[in-house]
Amino acid sequence: MADKLTQEELLAQFENMTLVELNDFVKAFEDKFDVKAAAPVAVAAAAAPAAGAAAEEKSEYDVVLTNAGAKKIQVIKVLKDLTKKGLAEAKALTDKVPSTILSGVSADDAKKAKEDLEGAGATVELK
């Protein structure tokens, strides 16, 4: 098929895209193929059951952003949704890490927030 692009051609196309265009592409890719582009750090954090077993006994958690990662814009968007804060306040949270994003939330809310932030490329701890 003449329309197929090689891997090198695709990479050349991505290389010429802006971060906003790449972000839009990733969202479209995730929607089309029903997948989530997650940072490898999220996989490593999920594989630590010893810390998670002791943490599940708690009833309230603090969600702490330890690193905004390379996709800072995505993280800021997630922070705005989670905290109901404005753009400047959400950006300030990414600039000053570690930052406590949510305090005294339920285990389910803390885990959901962590998944959302890690899905956007951030590194997060539950305390």
Q: Is 54 in the same domain as 111?
A: yes
For 93, half-sphere exposure in the C-beta direction (CA atoms, 13 angstrom radius) is 26
pLDDT in tens, 2-23: 578 888 888 888 888 888 888 8
Please give the model's pTM, rounded to 2 decimal places.
Answer: 0.52
Q: Which two tokens stand for residue 13?
A: 């196309």
CATH assignment of the domain containing 46:
3.30.1390.10
Q: Is 44 in the same domain as 31?
A: no
Query: 72-83 and 87-95 are packed helices; what angle lies between their axes, rounded to 10 degrees?
Result: 120
Q: Which two tokens stand for residue 56?
A: 């599940």
Q: Give, in order, the Cα–Cα distances in Å from 5 to each of 15, 57, 117.
A: 15, 51, 33
Q: Is 73 in the same domain as 101?
A: yes
Task: Give pLDDT, residue 55.
Answer: 46
Taking the mean position of all CA atoms in its chain, how far away is CA 88?
Answer: 18
Domain range spanning residue 21? 1-37
